Chains A and B, each alone.
Chain A
Amino acid sequence: MSHAPRSGDSPHVLLSETDIARALTRIGHEILERNKGAGDVVLLGIPRRGVPLARRLAERIAAVESSVPVGSLDVTMYRDDLRMRPARALERTDIPADGVDDKVVVVVDDVLYSGRTVRAALTALDDIGRPRAVQLAVLVDRGHRELPIRADYVGKNVPTSRAEAVRVQLRETDDVDEVVLVREER
């Protein structure tokens, strides 16, 4: 699953390194503004790229106010398309020690598309505890929702066609910070 644009694609840069940094700084502030501080906020990233994004958001929130717990939430076991693909390796689930009960959980992912991953995350949260509220932060919202789900914090809204793919690359996983739009060859 390489995220490097293949030859033949015409990659169009949606977000550069600085764009990503600015978007995350803004989202960090929006989270604080909306929740009137960092008090009960818990950030849960969805593997893989939601996890480094959640960590970066936590750094920004800590820089302005106080540090917040960060964790990861693998939703593989809760997906509705498991039977349509071969069994996948599981990613790390790591819930902060204080749990999520009565907290404001901000689920963090790189791209919001059909909404099915978020639906799976909400179901997974059900089994972990009962947050006071759940909010959603994404770096890119590319539309084409298949479920009644929307993001509370969006880095960039990008109108896309289904024939295109949004490739998010992050330093932690891909050595570079960049979001590109590529045409998928089918």
Chain B
Amino acid sequence: MQHLLTIADLDREEAVRILDTAEEMARLTDRAIKKLPTLRGRTVVNLFFEDSTRTRTSFELAAKRLSADVINFSAKGSSVSKGESLKDTALTLEAMGADAIVVRHSASGAPHRLAHAGWVSARIVNAGDGTHAHPTQALLDAFTMRRHLGDLAGRRVVIVGDVLHSRVARSNVELLSLLGAQVTLVGPPTLLPVGVESWPCQVSYELDPALAKADAVTMLRVQHERMAASFFPSAREYARRYGLDSGRLRLLPDHAIVLHPGPMNRGMEITADVADSDRSVIVEQVGNGVLVRMAVLYLLLGGSGAAEEDR
């Protein structure tokens, strides 16, 4: 594993290795001293062209837990807002000796460009690019599901909401199907992307029938900025048809869990009582995010080169 740009770059073994490594990270950090010396002297740059306190903090904490030096480079108030190109930013970071660059960008493909244009020698981790991919979110979701459900092969996962604009949904479908789970996407036709029928999953416009057999349900965030663009008639109608409330929660099997990548719109895609119920693992996802990102940074930076094939 040279970079982590999309789930599509991983084979099943690599994906499982990341999840297993995260499991060991959990054991290693479940104590008073949570810091490990492994990445001492390495520099991790968080390059965020889009605001995301949650993801950036998670990466920052993961890198710090591994003793790496962390630099946060956000577009706001930096040279980027003065019109610096991605290339010049990259060359600057290269000159500063970055060993890994965690990049969030509104343009799909920006991390790929950074990884393959030859500007930098650092490892690139995609922390979300446009509507393309968000691989560490998918990994932390799968990690959370695996902790509750065990092996995901044959498990049924329902992903609900704005699939069209969601890099999370895209990466989730890729990873879950790689791990052998059956994924069903549910949302209004206007929020399902063109070509979704070729994805390795099922698609439905109705939420209720999908819930009865689900082992896990992921509720996607309704992005307020899309509401004006008339993808659906009103917030209330969306909540009624696609929101997860306590009535729908009762349709789920007893062992099923509820996930949300955050930040939540309580009362929109998920009601407050569901978000706070014992079926909800949303807070746990945040903690697992740090573990999964530690695993990714360790596997990218911990050794001399690519992760060992087998031993």
Seen from chain A, the residues whose Cβ lies within 8 Å of a Cβ on chain B are 1, 74, 77-78, 82-95, 123, 127-128
Q: Which residue of B lies closest to A120 (CB)?
A: B37
Interface contact A89-B17, CB-CB below 8 Å = yes
Known: A77-B38, A127-B33, A127-B36. A87 touches B27 (CB 8 A): no
Question: What B residues does A82 contact at CB under 8 A?
Answer: 38, 302-303
Interface contact A93-B28, CB-CB below 8 Å = yes
Q: Which residue of B lies closest to A83 (CB)?
A: B304
- Classify chain B: how many residues form its interface, as a range: 20 to 34
* Shortest distance from the beta carbon of B304 to any chain A beta carbon, whole Å: 5
Question: What A residues does B305 contact at CB under 8 A?
Answer: 86
Known: A77-B37, A93-B24, A127-B36. A87 touches B308 (CB 8 A): yes
| B17-45 with Cβ < 8 A to chain A | 17, 20-21, 24-25, 27-28, 31, 33, 35-38
Grouping DSSP codes into helix (H, G, I), strand (E, B) and loop, the A interface class, with mixed when no group exceeds half, is: loop
Seen from chain B, the residues whose Cβ lies within 8 Å of a Cβ on chain A are 17, 20-21, 24-25, 27-28, 31, 33, 35-38, 298-309, 311
Interface contact A84-B304, CB-CB below 8 Å = yes
Interface contact B304-A127, CB-CB below 8 Å = no
The 5 tightest CB contacts between A and B, nearest first, are: A87-B303, A90-B24, A87-B302, A86-B308, A86-B303
Cα-based distance from A128 to B36 in the complex (angstroms)? 11
Q: A82-B38, A90-B24, A93-B27 are in contact. List 6 more A-B contacts (CB 8 A).
A: A86-B304, A87-B301, A88-B302, A92-B27, A93-B28, A127-B31
Interface contact B304-A85, CB-CB below 8 Å = yes
Interface contact A91-B24, CB-CB below 8 Å = yes
Cα-based distance from A85 to B308 in the complex (angstroms)? 8
Q: Which residue of A lies closest to B308 (CB)?
A: A86
Question: What A residues does B36 contact at CB under 8 A?
Answer: 77-78, 127
* Shortest distance from the beta carbon of B3 to any chain A beta carbon, whole Å: 14
Question: What A residues does B301 contact at CB under 8 A?
Answer: 87
Question: What A residues does B306 contact at CB under 8 A?
Answer: 86-87
Can you list 15 contacts pairing A with B, beta carbon distance less than 8 Å?
A77-B36, A84-B304, A86-B309, A87-B306, A88-B302, A88-B308, A89-B21, A89-B308, A90-B20, A90-B24, A90-B28, A92-B27, A93-B27, A127-B35, A128-B33
Question: What B residues does A93 contact at CB under 8 A?
Answer: 24, 27-28
Interface contact B304-A1, CB-CB below 8 Å = no
Cα-based distance from A85 to B299 in the complex (angstroms)? 12
Q: Which residue of A lies closest to B17 (CB)?
A: A89
